[in-house]
Amino acid sequence: MAKSDKAALLGLLGERLAESYLLHRHYRVIERNWRGAHGEIDLVVTAPDGELVIVEVKARSSGKYGSAIEAIDSEKLRRLHLLARQWCIEHGIRMEYRIDVIALDNFSLPRISHRVGVKS
């Protein structure tokens, strides 16, 4: 399997694990893999309290290039905010949102980390 195929498969599996993790915590999935002008939103969900949440999923098979959470830098957050606003406009939604990151490290024995309301 080519390296890019492995990365795509890891990403897909990571997103499905993250979705399962959220569903077990009573989040509701609204949309998966929404594409906008500035990239893609992995998951759009509502939290148990009804808050709109934009979820970025990062999966790493090893720590060779740092942890999954370290891959979320200020530029990635800026793009996620642009995407979130575009998603809200296109769906006619006028409500606040937050950005969460679900990081999966050491994918052979995944450790899930859920960062709520990531600011920077």
- 101 within some domain: yes
What pLDDT digit, counting tens, does each position of 7-64 carry?
788 788 889 999 999 999 999 999 999 999 999 999 999 999 999 999 999 887 655 6
- 16 within some domain: yes
CATH number at residue 47: 3.40.1350.10
- 120 within some domain: no
What is the pTM (predicted TM-score) of this model?
A: 0.89
- 100 within some domain: yes
Beta bridge partners of 57: 102
Domain that holds residue 52: 3-115
- 31 within some domain: yes
Structural domain tally of the chain? 1
- 59 within some domain: yes
- 47 within some domain: yes
Q: What is the Cα–Cα distance from 93 to 88, expressed in whole angstroms? A: 5
Contacts 24+ apart (CB under 8 A), 26-29: 27/53
| Residue that wins the pLDDT comparison between 61 and 84 | 84
The pair of three-digit structure tokens given for residue 25, joined into one six-digit string: 């915590």
